[in-house]
Every structure is written in C-alpha cells, then in structure tokens.
C-alpha cells in the first residue's frame, strides 16, 4: 500500500513539474560544445567585483543618426552593451525613424517585444505563422506587442520623425532581418536557391544582392 502511495506521489511530481526539468532557453545563437571543458552556464560568466555603475546605462541616447537607406536607427541596451542585464531576461531598444523611415520585416528568435511610441505616428504590424497580418497606426503614448519569433515591421507614417522604446524578455533577443538575411549573407545564398524560392530570375536576385551586400 505504502509503495503504491509512493508511486502515486512520484507520478504526480513527474506530471506537475515537467517544465523545471527542460533545457534552458538559448541566450545566444549557438554554443558549440567543447567536450574537454568543464560544464558552464548558457550565457556569460559573472564578474567578481561589482559596483553601482554596473546597474546603470546611458546608451539609449537620442537623437540618433537616421541618414541611411531605411531611415531608421536603433540603439540597443542588451547584454552586449549593458552587461548588468546578464541572466535577467530583459533588454530594451531606442528606435528612431526619419520621415518615411521603415524598420524592415524582421523577427527576434529569443524574445517577445513590447513597444511604446514616444514621438510621432507609426504603422506597426506583425505576421502570424499562417500569414495573417495584424497591424495598426499608433501614436505617442500608445503601445504594441509582438509575440516571440513572429515577423514584424514598423513604418513612420507621420509628417515628422518618430521614436519608439521597445522592451524584450531576453538579455539578447537576436534579430533576423529578412532582406539582409536572404540577400546579404556571407557567404551568399546561391542564386539557384533564391530564383526558385522567389519564382524570379538571376537579374532580379543579383539586383537585390547588390543592395544588401556587406
Ligand atoms: C549621419 O550618417 C551619415 C551616413 O553615415 C553621415 O554621412 C553623416 O555625416 C552623419 N551625420 C551626423 C550628424 O553625424
Ligand atoms: C489564420 O489565423 C487567423 C487568426 O488566428 C484566423 O482567423 C484564420 O482563420 C487563420 N486562417 C487559416 C487559413 O487558418
């Protein structure tokens, strides 16, 4: 009887806490295992000497220089620029738009995003995995969310400049920016793949590659 009860408790535990035994979410794009090293954490090792300045960051500064083909500039506060965020599962960006500026379709593989418009008028949209577009024009003081990993964009549709502050539930959300991922990779994706994918010809693919080459 006692062993039956013990088995029941064990089964209950297995069913109730499965999430505690799963792998941690990745904190970087990849981590090639060094089979000779001792176990390490999925992130960065910790500094031994800490001071107040480790917990403050002045790098979200404004205004940013938006003189580029997209008319958008981003200053990130993630673990690479603000190491105090390490292991906290948080980061933020300052995003500024010239008139007509577009933050092109991209996704963050490791984070959902919340954003608030500080200045201007911004058309914000994201796409579901069944290609449904959810979009709206929002103004200063209004917020949006983008579920983790979904493709999204923002476009300044106001007369002047626009500014957003975004927040992420990852210390390093990562960004897959579709145009440069597909047409600006190193080495290049072969034209045979891209012409078939986009049902187009070499001239069109070469034209796009020429715009995103690094
Ligand atoms: C802004 O960036 C452009 C392009 O890189 C550069 O030519 C220009 O001098 C910069 N403007 C300022 C004010 O830094
Ligand atoms: C796609 O998702 C949307 C929103 O969840 C839903 O309304 C729509 O019916 C779906 N379309 C298809 C083709 O499954």
Look at residue 10 and tell me whether its pLDDT is greater than 60: no
Give me the pLDDT at residue 16, please: 47
Ligand 2 midpoint to CA 132 (Å): 7
Give the ligand with the smallest distance to the CA of 70: 1
Would you list which residues are annotated within the binding site for oxalate? 93, 103, 108, 113
Look at residue 36 and tell me whether its pLDDT is greater than 60: no
Query: What's the angle, vertex CA 98, arms to CA 83 and CA 145, rounded to 5?
Result: 55
Give the ligand with the smallest distance to the CA of 63: 1
What are 155-205's pLDDT values in tens digits? 999 999 999 999 999 989 999 999 999 999 999 999 999 999 999 999 999
Give me the pLDDT at residue 19, please: 43
The residue whose CB lies within 8 Å of the most ligand 1 atoms, and thus the one to mutate among 67, 72, 101, is: 67
Would you list which residues are annotated within the binding site? 93, 103, 106, 108, 113, 152
Ligand 2 midpoint to CA 130 (Å): 6
Band of pLDDT at residue 30, cut at 50, 70 and 90: low
Give the closest residue (by CA) to ligand 1 atom 3.
Answer: 67
Measured from the CA of 130, which atom of ligand 2 is nearest?
1
Backbone angles phi, psi at 94, to 5 degrees: -105, 125
Rounded distance between C-alpha atoms, residue 107 and residue 88, angstroms = 21
Give the long-range contacts of residues 14-18, CB within 8 A, separation 24 or more: none
CATH number of 73-173: 2.60.120.10
CB burial of residue 70 (10 Å; 0-12, 13-18, 19+): middle
**DSSP state at residue 172:** S
Look at residue 32 and tell me whether its pLDDT is greater than 50: yes
Domain range summary for the chain, segments of one domain joined by +: 73-173, 184-212
Give me the pLDDT at residue 70, please: 97
Instruction: Kindly report the average pLDDT of the chain as a whole number.
Output: 87
Ligand 2 midpoint to CA 145 (Å): 19
Which residues have any ligand 1 atom within 6 Å of their CB? 65, 67
Ligand 1 midpoint to CA 68 (Å): 8
């Amino acid at each position: 009887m006692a062993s039956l009860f013990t088995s029941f408790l064990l089964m209950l535990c297995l069913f109730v806490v499965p999430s505690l035994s799963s792998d941690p979410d990745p904190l970087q794009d990849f981590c090639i295992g060094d089979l000779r090293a001792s176990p390490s954490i999925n992130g960065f090792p910790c500094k031994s000497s800490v001071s107040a300045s480790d917990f403050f960051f002045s790098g979200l500064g404004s205004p940013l220089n938006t003189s580029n083909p997209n008319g958008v500039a981003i200053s990130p506060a993630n673990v690479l620029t603000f190491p105090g965020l390490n292991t906290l599962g948080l980061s933020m960006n300052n995003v500024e738009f010239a008139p007509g500026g577009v933050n092109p379709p991209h996704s963050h593989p490791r984070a959902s995003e919340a954003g608030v418009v500080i200045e201007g008028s911004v058309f914000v949209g994201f796409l579901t995995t069944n290609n449904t577009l959810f979009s709206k024009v929002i103004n200063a003081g209004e917020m949006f969310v983008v579920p983790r990993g979904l493709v999204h964009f923002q476009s300044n549709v106001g007369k002047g400049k626009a500014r957003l502050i975004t927040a992420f539930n990852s210390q390093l959300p990562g960004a897959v920016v579709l145009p440069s991922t597909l047409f600006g990779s190193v080495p290049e994706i072969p034209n045979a793949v891209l012409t078939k994918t986009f049902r187009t010809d070499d001239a069109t693919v070469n034209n796009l590659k020429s715009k995103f080459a690094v």
